[in-house]
Amino acid sequence: MTGIDTETLLDHLLEHNWVVLKKALPQDTLTALREEALALWQSGDFRSARVGRSGENLKSEIRNDRIHWLDEENLSDVQQRYLDFLNDIKDLLNRELFMGIASFEGHYAVYPEGSFYKAHLDRFQDADERVMSCILYLNKDWQHDFGGQLRLHLDEQMLDVEPEAGTIVLFYSDKVLHEVLPANQERLSLTGWFRRRSLRDLY
């Protein structure tokens, strides 16, 4: 895969349950995704993010970002380009780590100034479909003082990842507790999950 050291990706995931990738996507793809996210945001085509398996609970004390889900039946050209890239990662994970990934779901996320997301896991207790989380950041010229870092709660330490454009973070959805620190500037990302069929459906 262009722009990715696959051996490092796999080794780091196996040893640490997470990996950070830098500059894995072409600049024109990043720019187009950012422009699309901003256009959707400015048109009001986002909704308040919710918590819970069915997304039934609006709890602003836990998270207060806004999201726009990708529609796999109606992808834009740049969304399709990004999903083609993710399909290469999916094939790698299935081939080398036997993960059984079948699909990907994702959404644009905007964190307005002051927004955050408290520490959580991405896999719900009563659902096992999400196996690997994948976050792509779209923030050009991001500075540390802007806040909005992704904080990974690891066994040995906490790791803060700057949400800089082109940075991709992969981690096991059921193993890595994480949070989004309060953003002091508007913060953009494309967040998603590699999914498998539920094990309950196989028996």
In a domain, 168, yes or no: yes
- Numbers of helices and strands, H then E, in the chain: 3, 11
CATH number at residue 161: 2.60.120.620
Tell me if 121 is assigned to some domain: yes
Task: Provide the pLDDT for residue 60.
Answer: 79
Per-residue CA distances from 57 to 54, 62, 90, 93, 125 (Å): 8, 10, 30, 32, 16
Structure tokens at 201: 């459906």
Amino acid, res. 166? G
Mean pLDDT throughout 15-43?
A: 97
Q: Which domain holds residue 164?
A: 6-49+63-197
Q: Indicate whether 55 belongs to any domain.
A: no
C-alpha span between 29 and 8 (Å, rounded): 23
- Residue for token pair 């918590």: 51
Percentage of residues of the chain with pLDDT beyond 70:
92
The beta strand positions in the chain, using DSSP E, are 18-21, 47-48, 66-69, 103-111, 117-120, 130-137, 150-153, 158-161, 168-172, 177-180, 187-195
Question: pTM, whole model, 2 decimals?
Answer: 0.93
Environment class of residue 98 by beta-carbon count within 10 Å: exposed (0-12), middle (13-18) or buried (19+)? exposed
Q: How much of the chain is helix, strand and coil, in % rounded to 5?
A: 25, 30, 40
pLDDT above 50 (res 203): no
Is 32 a domain residue? Answer: yes
Domain count, the chain: 1
Is residue 56 domain-resident?
Answer: no
Domain assignment present for 136: yes
Q: Please state the φ and ψ torsions of residue 146, each to the nearest 5 degrees.
A: -75, -10
Range in 34-43, 55-64, 108-117, 139-148 the model is least confident about: 55-64
pLDDT above 60 for 3: yes
Mean pLDDT of the chain: 93
What single DSSP character describes residue 60? T
Q: State the Cα–Cα distance between residues 53 and 46, nearest whole angstrom.
A: 19
**pLDDT for 54 beyond 70:** no
